[in-house]
Amino acid sequence: MAGVYLGFDYGRARIGVAAGDTITQRARPLGVIDAKDGNPQWNQCERFIKEYAPTALIVGLPYNMDGSSGALEPEVQAFAKALTTRFNLTVHLVDERLSSKEAEDRLRQVRQSGERTRRVRHGDVDAMAACVLLEQWLNATHAHSAPRTTG
Q: How far apart are CA 16 and CA 28, in angstroms?
A: 11
Specify the pLDDT at position 127. Answer: 85
Give the CATH class of 4-143.
alpha beta
Are 34 and 40 in contact by the 8 Å Cβ rule? The answer is yes
Specify the pLDDT at position 149. Answer: 34
Specify the pLDDT at position 101. Answer: 60
Q: Give pLDDT < 50 ranges for the chain.
A: 144-151
DSSP 8-state assignment for residue 12: S
Sequence ranges of the domains in the chain: 4-143
Residue 81, classed as helix, strand or coil, is helix
Q: How far apart are CA 133 and CA 7, in angstroms?
A: 7
Whole-structure pTM value = 0.79
Are 55 and 87 in contact by the 8 Å Cβ rule? The answer is no
Specify the pLDDT at position 126. Answer: 82
Specify the pLDDT at position 4. Answer: 93
Give 3-state DSSP helix, strand, coil % of the chain, rounded to 5: 45, 25, 30
Residue-wise pLDDT tens digits, 128-143: 889 888 988 898 876 5
DSSP 20-54: EETTT--EEEEEEEEEETTEE-HHHHHHHHHHH--
Specify the pLDDT at position 146. Answer: 43
Specify the pLDDT at position 99. Answer: 60
Specify the pLDDT at position 140. Answer: 82
